[in-house]
Amino acid sequence: MLKKEAALYQSVLITGASSGIGEECAVFLAHKGFRVFAAARRLDKLKELAGAVGAGRITALAMDVTDEASIAAAMKTIAEDGAPLYGLVNNAGASSMGPLEKLPADEWRQVFETNVFGLAAVTRAVLPQMREAGRGRIVNIGSLTGRIASPFQGVYAASKHAVEGLSDSLRRELVPYGVKVSVVRPGAINTPFGAHEAEMLERYETDAPYGDQVTTFKAWFERQHPAAPGPSVVAEAVHHALTAEHPKSRYVAPPKMAYALALRNLLPSALTDRILERVNGLDMFRK
């Protein structure tokens, strides 16, 4: 671990910090002594958060990760602070739920703009200063869905699979520059994200031919997030990735969900399909 005195002045940029996991990471890291730049589109929420933590530990930054100009403006504010950024937590995320056949193309684009191209744009913006400093940490918030793709979640799953791939490339590219890259893969976490995803399924419940499947899946899906752990399990993994001398390339949050990945890696796909269907109730539709 970094020594406590050293951690006191490390600065970290967190995207999507106005809610859920990003907000929790901002508070957690600020209390651990980090200087936090908390970014999102809802500046009012970020200002509230900065005020609640106090002592100038959190700076609120308006940033839409899909808008290069807003990324540049936020980077200018960070540069004015004087110290090079030590960490970036790419957390901003969007989802779209529904049968692949039905999902509108603009929703595909919006999810990829945020989860993949936006993540890459913010990463590009911070890399020169990290490389020049010869140190830095990039923590990409992926998802278990980046390895195990449920039905009706294909766009989101595809975007999180992309995060896995680009994180592997980036980690290997940055070895000579002292910049370390980790992916944190949350399982279901109790934030506003899950309820929003469930809402997106509603529009397909009466839509032939997938309606009955969607209704069955949604009934299972909307039970997951309220019963899931809170975002602190993710903040702990992010903190480890930022501070451990040898951060892991991948974290699962909560760690006990690693069993799902182990099963996915060990079992043949046909068997994994059957297990998933049994769990989410879709087995009744199998022909």
Which residues form the interface with ligand NAP (CB under 6 A)?
15-22, 40-42, 63-66, 91-94, 114, 118, 141, 143, 186, 188-189, 191-194, 225
Token pair recorded at residue 60: 């609120």
Nearer to ligand NAP, 22 or 84 (CB): 22
DSSP 146: G
CB of 87 to ligand NAP, least distance (A): 16
CB of 277 to ligand NAP, least distance (A): 21
Catalytic site residue from 86, 156, 210, 251: 156
Q: From the centroid of its chain, how far is CA 274?
A: 28
CB of 136 to ligand NAP, least distance (A): 20
CB of 8 to ligand NAP, least distance (A): 26
Strand order in 35-40's β-sheet?
58-62, 35-40, 11-15, 87-90, 136-141, 179-186, 250-253
- Please tell me the total number of residues recorded for the chain in this structure: 287
Nearer to ligand NAP, 127 or 155 (CB): 155
String of b and e for 179-209 (b: at least 16 CB within 10 Å)?
A: bbbbbbbbbbbbbebbeebbebbeebeeeee
Strands 179-186 and 35-40: unpaired
Nearer to ligand NAP, 18 or 213 (CB): 18
Nearer to ligand NAP, 11 or 15 (CB): 15
Nearer to ligand NAP, 104 or 192 (CB): 192
CB of 101 to ligand NAP, least distance (A): 23
Among all chains, which residue has been given the structure tokens 């609640």? 52
Is residue 88 classed as helix, strand or coil in its secondary structure?
strand
Q: From the centroid of its chain, how far is CA 119?
A: 10
Instruction: Please confirm, yes or no, whether 86 is among the known catalytic residues.
Output: no
Token pair recorded at residue 206: 């009466």
Residues catalogued as catalytic: 156
